[in-house]
Amino acid sequence: MPVTGSQLVGQALKRLGVDTFFFLMGAPMLQAEKACIDLGIRGIDVRHEQAAAMMAHAYARLRNVPGVCMACSGPGALNLGTGLANALVDCAPVVALGGSSPVREYGTGAFQEFDQLAAMKPLTKWAERVYETRRIPEMIATAFRIATSGKPGPVYLDLPGDVLFAAIEEADVVWPAEPGPRPRPAADPAQIAQAVAMLAEAERPVIISGSGVLWSGAAETMQAWVEQSGIPFYTTPQGRGVVPEDHALAFANARSAALREADLVLVLGTRLNYVFGHGKPPRFAKNAKLIRIDIDPAEIAATPQVTLGICADLRVALEQLSAAATGIAPARYAAWTRHLAEIEATKAPASEVALATDQTPIHPLRLCREIRDFLPRDAILCVDGQEILNYGRQTIPTHTAGHRLNSGPFGIMGVGLPFGLGAKAAKPDKMVLVLHGDGSFGLNAMELDTAVRHGLPVIVVISLNGGWTADPDRSKPGRELGYTRFDAMAEALGCHGEFVERPEDIAPALARAAEAVAAGRPALVNVVTDWKARAQTVRFSASST
């Protein structure tokens, strides 16, 4: 019996366990998308391909499996690019399938003909094209293996129209072997012993962990190691929640002092980028020793100040470290943790005072406090913007691994709502709240329509400060956007809408939004905030403003 390339796409994805994909319809992918849906794979169609890639990214993060997105040829495939670039920087395993012009028409000026493969290579971990229909299952399986092996990342597979439309005999299809467990390379035991010796000598160690803990499935192992060793920990924005942020060894308000005074820094599954001053003074002490554990040797090599680099799967390495470090106990660092606790106790009350302000226009800190107090402990929070991103980072904790999604070091805007919808598709039983700046919301605002059509009830809260960033002088070109009634827009699309101008009205509006979500209806709360309020954050570069 003959089977088409489009049908093979659906069958290959089904065999690999895919249950959801994100797409925007278009040739030559229509029949492949239909084949997936006919096989019971949920298709969530979006309003812009960029959002499909972002939703797949969030889905991957929440489920720790590859997220899948699809787009048509030419501009459709290229529109995936921004989302894929962000996934590359965030090390997220996204599998993108893009239709393209027929191979037999290459070079003839075919409809939407473009060298998509060349465009995708810099944006992905791996990009290839299928030239023969019979190889579709093989190439899709390869894409999945590469997306999840070593340091995860996005991959792209180009599917020409004639390859998709051609048919072969089903008996001639060669299916790849079932994928086995993800390879987990162990650390060199001699290096583990050296790390233990360095920890035994240290007096003021800290842990910095990133998204590598999530992708390795090492959250429980990480918490166990923190509690066994008694070492204070800090996470990157992309790695929050691997240990609950109200843990006794989380000293959020003492972060700068801890990094500056630490004599040893254990870096787990993260880059030492601008967020951490590139691992150099004055962010870190001049003579601090650095132990770095990462799955990617290139990442370790990129940090010349590393004292000890260990290339290994993070979960396996932490298990090895825990087994070897039987002599490392919390009492070893009691004086250090008392010092950080004293700093925390001094700064925390002042922070709470700032969060309680009753000023109008509403200060973003007050908005963040209301959201903090409203959210269930296991809620999923997606934050997107500039000022509100930084205020949210400082004030709203995360207590569950993978349940915090930010725009990341790529600095992309527009991810908030797509991230939220991808997260809701991945974990429909969890509350998902998206906290947006009004500027960033505009980039993918029409995905509210996607939320309504596909029954993805999320709460969207907008910090409406009338423009891009905070500008006390209102002198930055292009800053002003006006005070758009996004709540009215949301209602027109079928969502519940709220408009808030006074701080005491935030909590009741959030409660009504939660009632709408409980009834299956997305909700948007539009909150007018102070356009002068600018959050403190690390400087991005010498050229940032």
Nearest to 428 by CA among 512, 518, 524: 518
Q: Which fold has domain 189-342?
A: Rossmann fold (3.40.50)
The whole-angstrom separation of Cα 497 and Cα 243 is 34
Cis status, amide bond into 28, omega within 30 of 0: yes
Q: Where in the chain do CATH 3.40.50.970 domains reside? A: 2-172, 356-528
- What DSSP state is assigned to residue 333? G
Residue written as token pair 């680099």: 309
HSE, side-chain direction, 13 A CA sphere, residue 227: 11
Which one, of 427, 373, 422, 431, lies nearest residue 397 by Cα?
Answer: 373
DSSP 471: -
Cα 255 to Cα 152: distance, rounded to the nearest angstrom = 28
Phi, psi of 100 (to 5 degrees): -150, 170
**Which phi and psi angles does 17 have, rounded to 5°?**
85, 10
CA dihedral of residues 362, 365, 371, 377 (deg, nearest 10): -170
Architecture (CATH level 2) of domain 356-528: 3-Layer(aba) Sandwich (3.40)
- CATH architecture classification, 2-172: 3-Layer(aba) Sandwich (3.40)
What residue ranges of the chain are covered by domains with CATH 3.40.50.1220?
189-342
Q: Which residues of 420-441 are buried (b: 16+ CB within 10 A; e: fewer)?
A: bbbbbbbbeeebbbbbbbbbbb
The whole-number pLDDT of residue 545 equals 47
Predicted TM-score (pTM) of this structure:
0.95
Phi, then psi, of 151 in degrees rounded to 5: -75, 120
The CA–CA distances, whole Å, from 285 to 278, 289, 301, 326 equal 12, 9, 20, 28
Tell me which residue has tokens 């980028």: 273
pLDDT value at position 17?
A: 97
- Is the distance from CB of 52 to CB of 23 less than 8 angstroms? yes
State the pLDDT at residue 543.
Answer: 45
From the first residue on, what is the mean pLDDT of each consecutive set of 10 residues in the chain (545 residues)? 96 98 98 98 99 99 98 97 97 98 87 93 98 97 97 98 96 88 93 97 97 96 97 94 95 94 97 87 93 95 92 98 93 96 88 87 96 98 94 94 92 96 99 97 98 99 89 78 96 99 98 99 98 70 47
> Residue 544's pLDDT is what?
47
- Do residues 390 and 430 make contact, with C-beta atoms less than 8 angstroms apart? no
Tokens read off for 523: 């909700």
Percent share of the chain, pLDDT over 70: 98
Angle separating helix axes 364-374 and 387-395, nearest 10 degrees:
50
So what's the pLDDT on residue 537? Answer: 62
